[in-house]
Structure 1
Amino acid sequence: MDRLDDATISARLAEVPEWRREGDEIRRTVAAPDFRTAIAIVNDVAEQAEKLNHHPDIDIRWRKLHLALTTHDSGGLTEMDFKLAARIDAIAADHGA
């Protein structure tokens, strides 16, 4: 998958406003209502990640999830990162986070 240029990354970030760029990654923190919901979000993200064969880094801190996306094989951000970011946003919204 092709790496995106800076202009494209900026445009794509506008479509997923909860995410921010840090170098060759995009990151988001999701605050769930409680720990059980946080784990449900992680499980739903795992399902989508498996479907896309694209897996985020997830750090679970009680009810806060810190997620990071990059395409390691491409050495930076690709369309796949933004596709999964949008799915993660929908999952978080479905869980009230």
Structure 2
Amino acid sequence: MKTPLLSDSEIQQQLASLNGWTINGTVLEKKFSFVYKQGEPSPFMRGLFLVERIASLAEAADHHPDITLTYPAVTVQLTTHDSGGLTEKDFALAKRIDLIG
């Protein structure tokens, strides 16, 4: 059974509770940028660590985002493919990602 799509007003309400996420069509998106800091892993490695943590959350939720790792950023895109847009599942995972990012 497909997860119900959220209305535009529900999407805006949910978006207001997130930190730094934007809507791009039917995709919820956030870009994490990393800068070089003396004594810390490189921005690329810190991005890779974030990808690993997001992957663990996604597996636990059985909801898998598109993740792009570049130097020095990670972009996460959430949408519920089988529903054709944004659902509560996307915002629930975004909230979990905000806790670790």
TM-score, normalized by length of structure 2? 0.87
What is the aligned counterpart of 1:25 among 11, 27, 48?
27
Alpha-carbon RMSD across the aligned residues, in angstroms, is: 0.9
The alpha-carbon deviation at position 78 of structure 1 amounts to: 0.4
Judge conservation of contact 2:19–2:98 (CA < 8 Å) in 1.
no
The alpha-carbon deviation at position 32 of structure 1 amounts to: 2.8
Matched residue pairs, number? Answer: 92
TM-score, normalized by length of structure 1? 0.90
Give CA-to-partner distance per residue, 1:4-53, whole Å, 9 cap, x none. Answer: 00000000000013101011111110013411111110000000000001
- Percentage identity across paired residues of the two chains: 39
Greater share of helix: 1
Name segments (4+ residues, structure 1) moved above 6 Å.
none
The corresponding residue for 2:79 is: 70
The 3-state SS of whatever aligns with 2:67 is strand
Larger Rg belongs to: 2
Unaligned runs of 5+ in 2: 36-42
Establish whether residue 47 from structure 1 lines up as the match of residue 47 from structure 2: no
